[in-house]
Every structure is written in structure tokens, then in C-alpha cells.
A and B are shown apart, each in its own frame.
Chain A
Amino acid sequence: MAEKIVDALGEACPVPLIKAQNAIKEMNVGDILILQIDHSCAMKNVPEWARKEGHNVEIEEVDDGEWEIIIEKVK
């Protein structure tokens, strides 16, 4: 099970979402994607998309205005 960190800090919508979509495409089932963001809108649209795709999603607030979205590729 591989773990991939994608840095989307300082990027505004929809760049974090597209980065997450591109990263997930190249990953295997069971792999974990950690998307680093500091744009609060991405906290809404990235998990929304990932859950709709059926992946497992967790959000962690790592600092003031900074989050990690952890996505486990399920299928």
C-alpha cells in the first residue's frame, strides 16, 4: 500500500481538485493520497468528489487554515 503526498498549498480552486483527480487516476486500489491544502473551498469540493467516487475520505486540520485531505482509493 503506497502513500502519495500531493502539495496543493497556495493553490486556489479548482487546482487542488484537479491535482487530486490526476493523482488518484495513477494510483492502485488501497493506496492513500494525502492532499495538502490551504484553500477552504477545496475542503468542500475535494471530499465531495472523492466520496461520490466511492473513496474513503478523512480531513485533518493540521494548522490554522491548513488541512490534509486523506483519500483511500477504494476502486
Chain B
Amino acid sequence: MDIRKNEFYKKWFKNAWTYVVGAILLSVFQIITLAVTGNPWGVSGVLANWGAWLYQAVGGSVDKWYYFSSEGAQKTLEAGFWNHGGSMRNLGIIFGALLATLFASQFKIKKIKSKKQVLAAVLGGLLMGYGARIGFGCNIGALYSGIASLSLSGWVFALFLFLGAMVGSKLLVKFFM
């Protein structure tokens, strides 16, 4: 039997799940994360640690950096990558996403179309990373976990996220269309 024609294969692996299914799953994972680790879900804070570990690997030191100055942050860095729950979760997200596209046989290495695309991606990544750190979180840690914790800050983040997206889409149409 051709698995590509199987109803269950199509439903579970091939076709995209609906937004409602995604929302329910994210909520369940948020509840599990909070119950098991005692902290709400965050993604980009972990990446700051990855940066610190990479920097240490090439001989740098972040001991004097204000961002990593707390005892907790130092302990996390000393314990290392493999003992850091958030790092394992981020790895899981990356490998899970890869697995999902492989199961759907939709894996493709995309061409880079122009230098403009590279420049925009690098600029966007730097701005998002920097913004997420001085904003104490990204759209997961600050927005999603913030609102889920009944914190006003999550809603403030949402308002400015919306304004930023409006400016961003105007720039996108101006430079990429």
C-alpha cells in the first residue's frame, strides 16, 4: 500500500494542523512547562546562554558582564549546555520541526535569492535578539507566558509587537516588492 494515499498519514503527517489544534497544544505545553520547571516557557533567553557558551568556547569570558552577573546565571553557565533544561527544550523544538518536515517529505534547502535577503535576515535577527534581551523576553517569554501569567506586561508587549509588525510590513513591501 502506498503510504502517501493513507488517510491517517495525510491527516497526521502531511497536511498542516489547524490553528486551533496548535493553540491547544501550545497551551498544554505551557501548563506542563510551568508545572514541571516552576517557570513559564521561554525561548530567547536560552539563546543568550548559547551565545555565552560559544564565546567561552573560543576563550572569551562573560564573568564581568552585567547580564550574567547574578548567581543563578553563573550557576547555569557553569553547569553547562547539557544540564540546562531550556537548551534541551530548544533543541527539541529544532529537531521536532525537522522531523515534522521530513515526515511530510517537505524538506528543502531553499535558495538565497538576493544579497538583500541576507542583509534583511541578519539585521532582523540582530534587532530581534537585542530587543528580546532588553525587553526581558521574546514573543514566547514576554508575550505568551506574560499574558498566560495574567501580567499586564504581556499586553503592553502585544501592543508594541503589533505596532512593530505594522512598520515591518510597510518596510517589507517597500524593499522586497
Could you list which residues of chain A lie within 8 angstroms of chain B, going by C-beta atoms?
A: 9-11, 14-15, 18-19, 22, 38, 40, 43-44, 63-66
**B106, A64: Cβ atoms under 8 Å?**
yes
Closest to A67 in B: B106
Task: Answer yes or no: B20 CB below 8 A from chain A CBs.
Answer: no
**A19, B110: Cβ atoms under 8 Å?**
no
Q: For the complex, give the distance between the alpha carbons of A22 and B173 in Å.
A: 12
Contact of B108 among A19, A44, A65 (CB under 8 A): A65
**B106, A40: Cβ atoms under 8 Å?**
yes
How far apart are A40's CB and chain B's nearest CB, in angstroms? 6
Residues of B within 8 A of A22 (CB): 177
How far apart are A29's CB and chain B's nearest CB, in angstroms? 24
Closest to B14 in A: A61
Task: Answer yes or no: B112 CB below 8 A from chain A CBs.
Answer: yes
A sample of 5 inter-chain contacts (CB < 8 A) reads: A9-B111, A11-B176, A15-B176, A64-B105, A65-B107
Contact of B110 among A9, A44, A63 (CB under 8 A): A9
Task: Answer yes or no: B32 CB below 8 A from chain A CBs.
Answer: no
Number of interface residues of B (CB under 8 A): 16
Q: For the complex, give the distance between the alpha carbons of A41 and B111 in Å.
A: 17
**A40, B177: Cβ atoms under 8 Å?**
no
Contact with A along B26-54 (1 / 0, CB 8 A): 00000000000000000000000000000
Task: Answer yes or no: B70 CB below 8 A from chain A CBs.
Answer: no
Chain B residues 96 to 135 lying within 8 A of chain A, measured CB to CB, are: 101, 105-108, 110-113, 117
**A15, B172: Cβ atoms under 8 Å?**
yes
Closest to A13 in B: B172
Residues of B within 8 A of A19 (CB): 177
Residues of A within 8 A of B108 (CB): 38, 63-66
**A44, B111: Cβ atoms under 8 Å?**
no
Looking at A14, A65, A66, the one whose CB has the most chain B CB atoms below 10 A away is: A65
Residues of A within 8 A of B172 (CB): 14-15
Q: For the complex, give the distance between the alpha carbons of A43 and B105 in Å.
A: 15
Task: Answer yes or no: B6 CB below 8 A from chain A CBs.
Answer: no
How far apart are A42's CB and chain B's nearest CB, in angstroms? 12
Q: For the complex, give the distance between the alpha carbons of A11 and B113 in Å.
A: 8
7 closest cross-chain pairs (CB), A and B: A65-B108, A65-B106, A10-B113, A10-B111, A10-B110, A64-B105, A38-B108
Looking at A10, A11, A19, A66, the one whose CB has the most chain B CB atoms below 10 A away is: A10
